[in-house]
Amino acid sequence: MNYLDCHNHTAEWSDGRQSIEQILERAKEEKVRVGLSDHAGLGDYLNSNDRLLAYADFLSQYPVARGLEMDLGRGFTVSGEARKKFDYMIGSVHGMEVNGVRMGFSPLIKFIKGGLPDYNPGAQIKDWDLFFQAHLDLLNKEYAEQQYSILGHCTMLPALARSKNPEEAFPEWWEEKLVTTLLLYNVAMEISNRWITPYDRLMKKAVDAGLTFSVGSDGHEPLKTCVLDYPKEMIKKFGVKEDRIFDIPRKIEVA
């Protein structure tokens, strides 16, 4: 199958270390179609309607799917005018408010990548059930405000530091509510090569419920861009049907 890798970042528009030309070159090598999804949000370059429109115009010059990765929970909403110019929008949580204080996930990301020896989110998160409920509340609230089409790297949450085994780190009640929420809104769950998510038990629940899945390398540099080993493995392992894989109706002409 000719996959659409929905999740890639450029240096021109967000925190990638690659140009759109390099991404297209990688897409050709990996025999996939490619979607660009630079970060949008208050803390990002793409933080205004004019810039979003300029980004959409830029993307329309290339044979790519036009996406965004919206930083959920930061009070920035894409206008209807801009939203229409994009094929899809990934909604991702990169930080959350805990006890009234914003907790960014960059220490978590460093910890996962091995750049931080120790990370203890328990210092801030005293009640994990409350935390997981707040995560679901955020997804609901954001969906009401801006209809994101894909939930990006859904388990990239501080809970990852609780156990090496995600099945111990994440509660089943949260998995079930998450799947129900995505199903209700017809939002695809991203299978992320960068974050190796979702894990087996969550994936099984999502497949059994009939959810749609998008595939994403979350590539920031050529070496990892368009690499979809983990999504392909999960699709095969859980027998995900082709019609359950997120795609766009517009045909992307690959040179």
Give the E-state strand segments of 80-192 in sequence order.
Answer: 88-92, 95-98, 101-104, 150-151, 188-192
Which candidate, 162, 228, 145, places its Cα nearest to that of 191?
228
Give the pairing type, strands 95-98 and 101-104: antiparallel
Choices 69-77, 122-130, 134-142, 160-168; region in contact with Zn ion by CB under 5 A: 69-77
Q: Is 218 in the site for Zn ion (CB under 5 A)?
A: yes
Choices 40-48, 55-63, 76-84, 214-222; region in contact with Zn ion by CB under 5 A: 214-222
Of residues 130 and 223, the one with the C-beta less far from Zn ion: 223
Of residues 71 and 175, the one with the C-beta less far from Zn ion: 71
Of residues 69 and 142, the one with the C-beta less far from Zn ion: 69
Binding residue (CB under 5 A) for Zn ion from 14, 92, 193, 214 = 92
Task: Give least dist CB 73 to Zn ion, A.
Answer: 13
The closest residue (CB) to Zn ion is 92
Q: Is 14 in the site for Zn ion (CB under 5 A)?
A: no
Of residues 111 and 255, the one with the C-beta less far from Zn ion: 111
CB 7 within 8 A of CB 190: yes
Q: How many CA atoms does the CB half-sphere of 149 hold within 13 Å?
A: 18
Task: Give least dist CB 153 to Zn ion, A.
Answer: 6
Give the pairing type, strands 188-192 and 213-216: parallel
Of residues 204 and 224, the one with the C-beta less far from Zn ion: 224
Which candidate, 188, 206, 201, 194, places its Cα nearest to that of 230?
194
Of residues 10 and 92, the one with the C-beta less far from Zn ion: 92
Task: Give least dist CB 111 to Zn ion, A.
Answer: 16
Give the E-state strand segments of the chain in sequence order.
Answer: 4-5, 33-40, 65-71, 88-92, 95-98, 101-104, 150-151, 188-192, 213-216
Task: Give least dist CB 219 to Zn ion, A.
Answer: 8
User: What six digits make up the tokens of 50?
Assistant: 């004019």
Task: Give least dist CB 239 to Zn ion, A.
Answer: 27
First to last CA, the chain: 18
Of residues 38 and 175, the one with the C-beta less far from Zn ion: 38
Q: Is 193 in the site for Zn ion (CB under 5 A)?
A: no
Bond into 171 cis (ω within 30): no
Task: Give least dist CB 12 to Zn ion, A.
Answer: 15
Distance (Å, whole) CA 130 – CA 125 = 9
Choices 15-23, 68-76, 123-131, 237-245; region in contact with Zn ion by CB under 5 A: 68-76
List interacting residues with Zn ion (CB under 5 A).
69, 92, 218
